[in-house]
Amino acid sequence: MPKHTREDTLHLQKKLCNELKEVRARKNGLCANRRKVYDSIFKELIVQIKDEDEVLGEILTRIRDEHNMTIDANQILSNKSITYGLQKHIESDDLDEIAQKIDNLENENEILRQCIRNMENEASKGEARNIEMFEQNRYSREKEINFLTDLKERLILMHKNIS
C-alpha cells in the first residue's frame, strides 16, 4: 500500500467538504445526502482494502452493514418519536378544548341552578300568597254563610210571626 502525505489527506478532506456542500448536506443530524456521500466513500474504501486483504474487506463490509442497520434503526426511532410527539401535542390540544368545555358547562350549570333557586323562591312566595288568599276566601265565605244562615233564621221567624 503506498504511503500518503499530509497534503494528500488535506486534499481529500477538501474534496469531501466540497462534495458535501455540493449536495447540500446538513452538518449534523440525520441527512440522506450526507449519508449517500459517506456510503459511496466507504464502499470505495472497502473495494480498495479488499484488493489488499480479503478478510479485512469482509470485516469492513460487516461494519458498514451494521452501521447502516444502526442508522436505519435511528431513523425509524426518530420518525416514531416525532409521530408520538405530534400525537401527544394533538391530545393536549384536545384536552385543553375539553377542559374549556367542562368549565363552560360548569358555569352554565351554576347559572341554571341559580335560576332554579329563584323560581323555587318565587313559587314558594306564590304558594304562601295562595294559602293566604284561600284563608281569606274561606273566612269571607264562613262569614257570608253565617250571615245568610242568621238572615234565614230571622226571615223564618218573621214569617212565623206574620202568619
Instruction: Give phi and psi for 99, each to the nearest 5.
Output: -60, -40
Cα–Cα distance between 20 and 34 in angstroms, integer?
6
Cα–Cα distance between 66 and 57 in angstroms, integer?
14
Asked if residue 79 has pLDDT above 70, the reply is yes
Cβ(27)–Cβ(44) below 8 Å: no
**For residue 71, what are the contacts with CB-CB under 8 A and spacing of at least 6?**
30, 35
Summarize the confidence of residues 95-111 as an average pLDDT: 89
Give the type of residue at 162.
Answer: I
User: What pTM does this model have?
Assistant: 0.49
C-alpha grid cell, residue 30: 440525520
Asked if residue 93 has pLDDT above 80, the reply is no
In this prediction, residue 27 carries a pLDDT of 85
| Tally of CB atoms within 10 A around 31 | 16
Cα–Cα distance between 75 and 101 in angstroms, integer?
39
Asked if residue 10 has pLDDT above 60, the reply is yes
Kindly state the percentage of the chain with pLDDT values over 70. 99
Confidence of residue 2 (pLDDT cuts 50, 70, 90): low
In this prediction, residue 1 carries a pLDDT of 55
Asked if residue 82 has pLDDT above 80, the reply is yes
C-alpha grid cell, residue 129: 300568597
